Chains A and B, each alone.
Chain A
Amino acid sequence: MNDKIIRRLAALFVVMAAVLATVAIVAIQNINRAVAASDWVNHTHAVITELSDLRSAFQASDAALRTLAMTGNEQDEAACRDALSRLSEHLEVAKALTRSEAGPAAQVARLEGLAAARTTLTRDVLAAHKAGQAGSVRSLLAADTGAGVVAEVRRLVEKLRLEQMALLAERDGVAYRQAQTTRWTVWTGVALNFVLLGFTIWLMVDDVAARRRAAAALQLANEQLDAKVRERTAELAAANESLTAENLERRWGAQALEHQLRYNEIIINSISDLVLVVTKARNISRLNPAVQHVTGWEPAQLVNRPLSELVRLQDGAARLAPGGTDPLGQALKEGRDLRDLPATISDGTHRQIAAHLTLYPLRDGNNVVGGVVILRVDAPAT
């Protein structure tokens, strides 16, 4: 993977981790709030229950007190004391439950005052009962009834209960909203993470596809390169083969030419007669070794010299040409042979050697370009 993709993926994973962490923090906070709200709800339920129990305890103590006033037996007295004791317990619990809330605590304090008055009334009634003062008992109870303490307790408890119910409803609403917030937070986080995960997968798939495309393109390029290399190699091999063949052909041509020249030279050099090649102007251009052997002249002394300095036709032969011209020049001009004309050769010591001259014109196509002179030395007279 290239650096760009790695950086993108790393950034995406960082974002996903951040989203997860945010979701987790928000969820934990909401759970903590929900737990706290649940505690408060339980607390409120406990307060409401305790208020109901407190009201029941008031009513029970009031009933026990009036029953005792009517019967006066000890069993009802015990029941009365027991009712007062339960009332006291419920008051303590209600105080403990509402201690942190100023409003309810004040109302519970007021209930506590009413309960204290009730306890005092009960003690007074019990004392009057034990003293056998029935009239006093009736007057105490009548005064209590006229004060409407129980009705006051019922009213206070109901008010407090209604307040707690309202608080409970409010806290239920808050808890519901928190639960909704938690749901939305979690679902949004999950959805966002899924989107990011999908984007990450898309990036990876796209990168893999791009890599495959790049690999395929690279492979195609390599194959094309290989094909070009093979093609070029084949061309070079063919060119090399062609060059080698051409080179061999040239060497063969040169060798064949050299062989042919040498072979022709061998033939010429093997002739014991004097063989000379002359130009159309009758100057010597080539000669065979027999010339030097017979005359003693070096080739360098004869080449490019007039043939007449080496050989002369005898008088009879010289007259063969019409108008007294050189018969050799005339024969070359006319392109005809001269055969076995008597002649004399001048050697290096100016000695005259009798010979017979034969001339063959050298033809290149239709043109006479020179001539070959063959001098056959006459045998010495015996």
Chain B
Amino acid sequence: MKPHILIVDDEAPIREILAQMLGQRGYRVTEASSAVEAQNVVQRDPPGLVISDLQLEDSDGLAMIAQLKSACPGLPVMLLTGVLFDDDVVRGSLSKTVDVYLAKTTPLAKIMDEIGRLCPL
């Protein structure tokens, strides 16, 4: 069975590119444009990995991630955002909430490598 990945981002082009790439790699992908939608997906069809933006239309990404993790403990999460954090912030704060933090300027190939590490095929 194909691993399931949930993409949470309010920007449709970002979701579309990620979904296409992941689909080609053999993943089953569900897209969500808001935190509410993402929570519904996790309850209905728990994913093997959540890729989330930080700034969502209806919520803060980190708050949403906390809710998803409380509902689904151990759920791997990748924070993929245009908000650039210092390394200290990543080590000190983000690493407690998310498994991986990547800026959106990161090359797609590297993003896929991290996804493959967190959610192997």
Interface residues of A (CB under 8 A from B): 241, 244-245, 248-249, 251-253, 255-257, 259-260, 263
Cβ of B105 and Cβ of A255 under 8 Å apart? no
Q: Which of B1-36 contact A (CB under 8 A)?
A: 11, 13-14, 17, 20-21, 24
- Expressed in whole angstroms, the Cα–Cα distance for A105 and B117 within the complex equals 132
Whether A255 touches B24, Cβ cut-off 8 Å, given contacts A249-B109, A260-B82, A260-B105, is no
* Minimum Cβ distance to chain B for residue A289 (Å): 21
Cβ of B108 and Cβ of A248 under 8 Å apart? yes
Cβ of A256 and Cβ of B82 under 8 Å apart? yes
Cβ of B83 and Cβ of A263 under 8 Å apart? yes
Additional pairs, 7, CB under 8 Å, beyond known A245-B24, A256-B106, A259-B14: A244-B24, A245-B21, A245-B109, A253-B105, A256-B104, A257-B105, A259-B82
Cβ of A248 and Cβ of B11 under 8 Å apart? no
Q: Which of B38-91 contact A (CB under 8 A)?
A: 82-83
A-B contact pairs, 24 of them (CB 8 A): A241-B24, A244-B24, A245-B21, A245-B24, A245-B109, A248-B21, A249-B108, A251-B17, A252-B21, A252-B107, A252-B108, A255-B11, A255-B13, A255-B17, A255-B104, A256-B82, A256-B103, A256-B104, A256-B105, A256-B106, A259-B82, A259-B104, A263-B82, A263-B83
Greatest chain B CB density within 10 A among A241, A252, A255 is at A252
* Minimum Cβ distance to chain B for residue A90 (Å): 125
Q: In the complex, which residues of chain A have a beta carbon less than 8 angstroms from the beta carbon of B83?
A: 263
Q: In the complex, which residues of chain A have a beta carbon less than 8 angstroms from the beta carbon of B106?
A: 256
- Expressed in whole angstroms, the Cα–Cα distance for A249 and B109 within the complex equals 7
Cβ of B108 and Cβ of A260 under 8 Å apart? no
Q: In the complex, which residues of chain B have a beta carbon less than 8 angstroms from the beta carbon of A259?
A: 11, 14, 82, 104
